[in-house]
Amino acid sequence: MRKDEALRKANEMNMDLVVIAEKAQPPVAKILDFNKFLYDERKKASAIKAKSKKSELKEFVFGPTIGSGDIDFRVQRAKEFLEEGNRVKITVKFKGRENEHPEVGFDKINKFKEELKDVARVESEPRRAGSMLTVTFVKL
């Protein structure tokens, strides 16, 4: 129908004439309540946003004296987190005299690297910040 006729019909119904496809031949418009239309659009956008999963950072913190069994357990958990799409941060925390031998912490980090090499890559190289040694892994 023509534009003036559609506007008159929308006014009679106390509704709005909303252009849906402006570039179509002829242009497509709908008679609807514009506020309700905006509300529905916001609700759709919110639902899409709620369904999208953001990548989280999962962190393991332990000392340089951690046992090999505990490392194996943490490696398995790290693999699970990586499969879910999360990033994994490994932190070795040194206390007191442990600060004198950071190479022990680097050995623990290298064990993690070796175990995770088939499912993850190193996002940030191991670095020392104060009494902590950290490295971050992301899924391949």
User: What is the rounded average pLDDT of the residues 76-82?
Assistant: 94
On average, the pLDDT of the chain sits at: 90
Instruction: With cut-offs at 50, 70 and 90, classify the pLDDT of residue 4.
Output: confident
What is the spatial order of strands in the sheet that 120-129 belongs to? 57-62, 87-93, 132-139, 120-129
Same domain, 93 and 79: yes
Cα distances (Å, whole numbers) of residue 16 to 26, 32, 56, 63, 134: 19, 5, 43, 66, 58
On the question of pLDDT at 3 being above 90, the answer is no
Predicted local distance difference test score (pLDDT) of residue 47: 87
Residue 68 and residue 46 share a domain: no
Confidence class for position 111, pLDDT limits 50, 70, 90: very high
Q: Are residues 124 and 76 in the same domain?
A: yes
* CATH code at position 63: 3.30.110.10
Question: Which residue range forms the structural domain that includes residue 133?
Answer: 57-139
Q: How far is CA 43 from the centre of its chain?
A: 21
- CATH number of the CATH domain containing 41: 3.10.20.80
pLDDT for res 50: 78
pLDDT tens column, 10-63: 889 888 888 888 888 888 998 988 899 899 999 999 888 877 767 789 999 999
pLDDT of residue 26: 86
Q: How many residues does the chain have?
A: 140
Q: Interior CA angle at 71 toward 65 and 87, to 5°?
A: 115
For range 66-79, the mean pLDDT: 94
β-partners of residue 88 are 58, 137
Based on the fold, state whether residues 73 and 129 are members of the same structural domain.
yes
Do 130 and 113 share a structural domain? yes
Domain co-membership, 17 together with 73: no
15 and 41, same domain (yes or no): yes
Domain count, the chain: 2
Beta strand residue intervals within the chain, DSSP E: 16-21, 28-32, 57-62, 87-93, 120-129, 132-139
Same domain, 25 and 41: yes
How much is the pLDDT for 87? 92
105 and 37 assigned to the same domain: no
User: Is residue 45 located within the same domain as residue 74?
Assistant: no
Rounded average pLDDT over 80-97: 93
